[in-house]
A and B are shown apart, each in its own frame.
Chain A
């Protein structure tokens, strides 16, 4: 397949992990994350990774203690496992939501069925990740939860030289106009609302195409290839970056 894909190695100056680390640094303060997960080893891995990426992680191994910590420390975000000793993860979230605590929560679970997922989200979870997961997926979703785009009333989105007119439904990069098909427009709009943020394939499938499953073909890569072809001209510095094994980032050219 002749895909217009660029591996992260082809993007000079962007080491694999640097992107995400830089992103975390963009935050005004170190985001505090409460992790409620009963498996010590998993928890340690998550904690180490998130700490590396600039998060301040507090860990609790059971539901009741986790709920107390959530109340007393008021974290910026929470990662909650579903099956916990003491108190079920969903009950923890439900209790917090009843107390009007709006902290974004990522639900972790070994239960991957669609119904479980729906239930997890209905009980007040903001996102749902099924075990086993790629750690980079978890980090990307945490970032996304912490930086959920505010519903802006702007009619034009801007990232560096890239502009997207939401009324005219046209794009432009500097002086160059970009013709976009509706599906390309949707994808670019989603990315421009989340600049400098790692967007994994699963996230794009769920959010842009509302796919509740992972298709056999690399749909996302093909669509992204098309879009990149239009956004990044042959002699322009690339704005859409493929992070190997993880996903894509839209960044302004420095």
Chain B
């Protein structure tokens, strides 16, 4: 069944149509050529017999008979027709039985049916002929067999058979081949896609030369699949991380409750146990809230609500809020925002982003360090950067810190849900800004806000 499918395929149908059109065109072309050649040959033989007629007509009646006879003698192929009829219609000489009725005397050369007497069985022939009445009343008939036309048509027909049939077949073959090839590739893609749907995420579409459209498409789709595979793996990883991060506080809560139920003897003891359990549950809820918030921002299309945000004021505000926290850790927190710059965005979200960066910076900077919040211009960008004197982020960790739940090994002991930077990344992305993290010690995180082009 599958082998016959190609005949029904679109590609094959197209090939068939193209082959048909091609054949029709060739037919018309050959027909035209035949018609032209035929016309030319007839015109030429008409010219020849007209000239000969004029020649013979100028002779004396006796010489005419001789010339006619001579003419017939010198015709080994037997294409010449010549005769002289007396005024009463009687044949005087020549190879034609009688003057054909349809031949107009003294008219131009024309087609006529004659009966030849120099061949056995009085063969009937269609010739080009011309007849003229001589001054003595005789009628001179000259003619020429024009079976070259049929020869030509035979040759043309042969050429047609030689050219058209292979051409047509070639078209069909090419069509069938293309169709089978496309069919095979589609089938291959089909199978692979089915495997992908079935869950084999490492499967990719086949592709050969990169320049071919089908391969180009395959390369693009493969790129998409790569992206999706990474995302799905990341999500799966996140799932594990979430499960782990949720389970830890919940386990603590459960243990506390279990132990409290049997061991607590006073109301105070029981309350302490319950407080512990609530703390564990709250921690789990915090993680869930952060995740939902992240999803909310990532799915958000809130750019309609964007407004001008005065960054100078905003950064000073963030600095003001975090100053006591920094002071408690003996960290010098500075805001360097000398110019009143503003960007288009959602103020609440931008505060959240910067606050998260500052929060992180303070958290990961050892006591006695510094944290600077800077606002500056660079090219056609407004740049908010948070710099700290902490351990920084290594090159390898750079991508990873933007992942949900990632916490660098160095800082794993520092409390914090670990969603902070992912949240910042999501907010920055929503705004069409750019988040860069400079690797190496003394971390520098930048939010670059390109100027709007409108």
Q: Which residues of A contact B (CB under 8 A)?
A: 1-3, 16, 112-115, 132, 134, 182-183, 209, 211-217, 219, 222-223, 225-226, 244-245
Which of B59-67, B286-294, B390-398 lies on the face that meets chain A? B286-294
Please determine whether A214 and B286 come into contact, CB atoms closer than 8 angstroms: yes
Q: Which residues of B contact A (CB under 8 A)?
A: 271, 275, 278-279, 282, 285-286, 289, 292-293, 296, 300, 302, 320-322, 324-325, 328-329, 348, 351-352, 355-356, 359-360, 362-363, 416-417, 420
Chain B's interface: helix, strand, loop or mixed, by majority?
helix
Chain A's interface: helix, strand, loop or mixed, by majority?
loop
Please determine whether B348 and A217 come into contact, CB atoms closer than 8 angstroms: no
Please determine whether A213 and B359 come into contact, CB atoms closer than 8 angstroms: no
Q: A212-B348, A216-B416 are in contact. Are A3 and B328 (CB under 8 A)?
A: yes
Please determine whether A214 and B325 come into contact, CB atoms closer than 8 angstroms: no
Across the interface, name the chain A residue whose C-beta is closest to B302: A115
Please determine whether B278 and A245 come into contact, CB atoms closer than 8 angstroms: yes
Please determine whether B289 and A222 come into contact, CB atoms closer than 8 angstroms: no
| Closest beta carbon of chain A to B369's beta carbon, Å | 15
Q: A183-B321, A245-B275 are in contact. Are A2 and B328 (CB under 8 A)?
A: yes
Please determine whether A217 and B362 come into contact, CB atoms closer than 8 angstroms: yes
Neighbouring A residues of B324 by C-beta, 8 Å: 222-223, 225-226
Please determine whether A213 and B362 come into contact, CB atoms closer than 8 angstroms: no
Taken together as a complex, chains A and B put the C-alpha atoms of A48 and B359 apart, in Å, by 39
Across the interface, name the chain A residue whose C-beta is closest to B320: A183
| Closest beta carbon of chain B to A136's beta carbon, Å | 10
Neighbouring B residues of A245 by C-beta, 8 Å: 275, 278-279
Please determine whether A217 and B289 come into contact, CB atoms closer than 8 angstroms: no
Neighbouring B residues of A216 by C-beta, 8 Å: 356, 359-360, 363, 416-417, 420
Please determine whether B302 and A211 come into contact, CB atoms closer than 8 angstroms: no
Neighbouring B residues of A182 by C-beta, 8 Å: 320
Neighbouring A residues of B278 by C-beta, 8 Å: 245
Q: A219-B325, A226-B324 are in contact. Are A212 and B352 (CB under 8 A)?
A: yes
21 A–B contacts, CB within 8 A, in A order? A1-B328, A3-B328, A112-B289, A112-B292, A114-B296, A212-B348, A212-B352, A213-B293, A213-B348, A213-B352, A215-B355, A216-B356, A216-B359, A216-B416, A217-B359, A217-B362, A219-B325, A222-B324, A222-B325, A244-B275, A245-B275
| Closest beta carbon of chain B to A122's beta carbon, Å | 13
Please determine whether B286 and A217 come into contact, CB atoms closer than 8 angstroms: no
Taken together as a complex, chains A and B put the C-alpha atoms of A115 and B292 apart, in Å, by 13
Q: A211-B351, A244-B275 are in contact. Are A1 and B329 (CB under 8 A)?
A: yes
Taken together as a complex, chains A and B put the C-alpha atoms of A226 and B351 apart, in Å, by 23
Please determine whether A219 and B328 come into contact, CB atoms closer than 8 angstroms: no
Taken together as a complex, chains A and B put the C-alpha atoms of A151 and B282 apart, in Å, by 35
Neighbouring A residues of B282 by C-beta, 8 Å: 134
Taken together as a complex, chains A and B put the C-alpha atoms of A114 and B363 apart, in Å, by 27
Neighbouring B residues of A114 by C-beta, 8 Å: 296, 348
| Closest beta carbon of chain A to B268's beta carbon, Å | 9
Taken together as a complex, chains A and B put the C-alpha atoms of A132 and B278 apart, in Å, by 13
Taken together as a complex, chains A and B put the C-alpha atoms of A86 and B262 apart, in Å, by 45
Q: Closest 4 interchain pairs by CB?
A: A212-B348, A113-B296, A222-B324, A213-B352
Neighbouring B residues of A222 by C-beta, 8 Å: 324-325, 328
Neighbouring B residues of A217 by C-beta, 8 Å: 325, 359, 362-363
Taken together as a complex, chains A and B put the C-alpha atoms of A212 and B356 apart, in Å, by 13
Neighbouring A residues of B271 by C-beta, 8 Å: 16
Among B289, B320, B329, B359, point to the contact of A215 (Cβ < 8 A): B359
Taken together as a complex, chains A and B put the C-alpha atoms of A223 and B325 apart, in Å, by 8
Across the interface, name the chain B residue whose C-beta is closest to A112: B292
Taken together as a complex, chains A and B put the C-alpha atoms of A235 and B302 apart, in Å, by 52
Taken together as a complex, chains A and B put the C-alpha atoms of A81 and B289 apart, in Å, by 19
Neighbouring B residues of A213 by C-beta, 8 Å: 293, 348, 352
Across the interface, name the chain B residue whose C-beta is closest to A116: B296
Residue of B300, B320, B328 with most chain A CB atoms under a 10 A cut-off: B328
10 more CB-based (< 8 A) A-B contacts, given A222-B324, A244-B275: A2-B328, A112-B293, A115-B302, A182-B320, A211-B351, A214-B289, A216-B360, A222-B328, A223-B321, A245-B279
